[in-house]
Structures are given as structure tokens and as C-alpha cells.
Amino acid sequence: MRISSSGIDMAGAASSSVLSAEDFEALRKFRADAYAPVGKAIDFLVERFENPPSLEETAAQVGMSPAHFQRVFKAGAGVSPKRFLQYLAAGEARRAMGEGASVLEASYCAGLSGPSRLHDLFLVAEAMTPGAYRNKGAGETIRYARVPGPFGEALMGATDKGVCWLSFIAGVGYARALAEMKGDWPAAVYVEDPAFVGPLAARAFAFARGLRLDRPLGLHVQGTNFQLKVWEALLRIPLGETATYGDIARALDAPRASRAVGAAVGANMISLLIPCHRVILSTGVVHNYRWGAARKKALLAIESALARPATTAA
């Protein structure tokens, strides 16, 4: 797997575990606007995970009956509220030191994220040429829109080559999120186009949940050579696992470059799809996420639950 100016495929091999036909059908029918209560519920559960609210309390928070809320949450997040809380709590105690190194080693040996659930899924990533990178998006048209998602509203931008921006709006606001995107691609032409972006967003959120896609989802990235190498390493961290900045530096044969790795992780423009949220401190502490530590914990909890199929009803 390599991100290059010529463009390459990044495929994730998975375990034999796949979504049930029932779950896949539920997601296919899931309306994008139905993500709103899921995002609100996730924020509520993260805020109160040390003293978990009941299903009834959480359902009331989003104005639904418990039974209806259970179905909506499972369809949008991929796991039940109970399993989300279980993995949110477990994540605080489970992040084993040194685990990230073995995870990355295994992924590199497998050629990609072998242990993950990204079964037969593909991202096609194309990096800007050095000349285009220096021009900061000149000649590109970026179509963008606010899109609802399971972790709240997001801002997505895309060129004809693929998704070039994905950020969460909560905590920073739409105006700031839009300004950040335009700051990273200052010479591009911007067109607000929900009709163009909406289908990309639906496929992006499906991919993030480990669903098979009917065709590759394109990414269009810009960065220095070192940043591209770091983002490639992020794509090798399997769903449900984490790595430290030091783990990534060592995987790049630059063991003293942890701070540079941190800067490259922070410069990632495509949240969720290039999973910078899977990088944690060597102490196991979850922080330093561009869109807030609470959102990072929620993402890791959802992914842990998705990567470990339930053995009992939850």
C-alpha cells in the first residue's frame, strides 16, 4: 500500500466476520437525516459513561421510545447502545502499552490491515503532485456540504478525484470548519453542492463502519512526503486497534521522529477515513484530537465493538 501521485489502491483484508443481511439492509434504508439522534445520543453517553444512563434515559434525551431508539442507534452506529457503553468503559482500561507495535508489525507483514473487518473494501488514494501541492489547490474545484453522520454533523469536501476534506462540526462550528478547509486548499474554487457530496458521505460512513462498498471510495490528499508516509501508516492500523506516535515512528524507521509524527497526524484533513483517532499516547491516554477527546473515545469504542462481534444479544 502506498499513497503516491500516481494513485494506488488501499485494500483491507478482513476476518471472516461480516455484517448480517439484516444489519446491511437496515443501513441501506437508513436515511442520512436519521443520524442526528444517533450523534446526540453518543455525545450524551460519552459525557456520562462513568455513571451510565439507562436505555430509557438515553432514549428520552433524543425524544424517542426505548424500543425505537434501540433500533435507530443500532442502524446508525452499527452496535447497540449497551455494547457501545461496554466498549467505551473497556477502552479506558484496555489500551495495553506496546500493543500498537505488534499491531503495526502484523499489518505490514500482511500487506495491509489484515486483522481488521474491512473485508474486500477499498480506498483509492491519489496524492497531489509536488507542483500542485505548492500551488495549494489551484485549478481544483472543491464541492462541499454539511452532512449528517453518526458522530454529529460533518463538513465534507471533494474534488473530481475524491474526498479531500472530512471534519466534524461540533465543537468548532460550521464557519470555522469551512475556514479550515479553505485554509488548507486556499487556491481552489469552492462550490456548495449537497447533491454531489451526499452520496459520497453515505459511502464514507458505510466504509467507516466496515461495510463492503460496491466500488472504491476515492481520496484526494495533499501533503509532504513525510506526511503521506504517516497517513499511510494510519491506514494500516486495523479497526478496533490503536498505536502510539512512537509505534508509527518506528514503523517508518524514524524512531526519534515521534513529534514529527504527531504533527503529521494533526495535519490529517480527512478524519475517520484516514484514522488519526487510532493514535494514542504511550501512556494510553486518549487526547490531542482535533475534534475533541470525547469524540475520539466514542470513535474508538464504536470501532472496538464493531471489530469484536457480539456473542450474546445486547
pLDDT band of residue 121 (cuts 50, 70, 90) is: very low
Q: What is the pTM of this model?
A: 0.69
pLDDT tens digit string along 211-239?
Answer: 666 677 888 888 888 888 898 889 888 88
Catalytic: 276?
A: yes
Q: Is a pLDDT exceeding 60 seen at residue 105?
A: no
Q: Which residue has the higher pLDDT, 44 or 96?
A: 44
- Are β-strands 243-244 and 279-280 bridged in parallel, bridged antiparallel, or unpaired? parallel
Mean pLDDT, range 53-58, rounded to an integer: 90
Catalytic residue among 276, 280, 301, 305: 276
Q: What is the pLDDT of residue 141?
A: 95
* Pairwise CA distance, residues 268 & 279, whole Å: 12
Q: Provide the β-strand partners of residue 9.
A: 124
pLDDT at 248: 92
Instruction: Indicate if the pLDDT at residue 64 is higher than 60.
Output: yes
pLDDT band at 97 (very low <50, low <70, confident <90, very high): very low
pLDDT at 24: 46
Q: Is the pLDDT of residue 8 over 60?
A: no
Grade residue 128 by pLDDT with cuts at 50, 70 and 90.
Answer: low
- The mean pLDDT value for 168-174 works out to 87
Do the Cβ atoms of 181 and 167 come closer than 8 Å? yes
DSSP conformation class of 312: S
How far are the Cα atoms of 99, 232, 246, 260 from residue 249, in angstroms, in the given order?
Answer: 15, 12, 5, 9
Locate 266 and state its grid cell: 494533526
**Contact between 13 and 30 (Cβ < 8 Å):** no
More confident residue, 70 or 135: 70
Give the rounded percent of residues in the chain with a pLDDT score beyond 70: 68
Read off the pLDDT band of 23 (50, 70, 90): very low
Q: How much is the average pLDDT of 51-79?
A: 86
pLDDT at residue 100 above 90? no
Mean pLDDT throughout 202-217?
Answer: 74
The runs of H, that is alpha helices, within 162-287 are 174-184, 194-208, 225-235, 245-251, 258-266
What is the pLDDT, as a whole number, of residue 104?
53
DSSP assignments along 153-193, one per residue: -EEEEEETTEEEEEEE-TTT-HHHHHHHHHHHSTTSEEEE-
CB 46 within 8 A of CB 286: no
User: What nine digits make up the cell of 172?
Assistant: 468548532
For residue 10, pLDDT over 70 is answered with no
- The pLDDT value recorded for residue 130 is 63
Model confidence at 183, in pLDDT bands (50, 70, 90)?
A: very high
Using one digit for the tens of pLDDT, what is the confidence trace for 242-288?
888 999 999 899 988 999 999 999 999 999 889 999 988 876 666 67
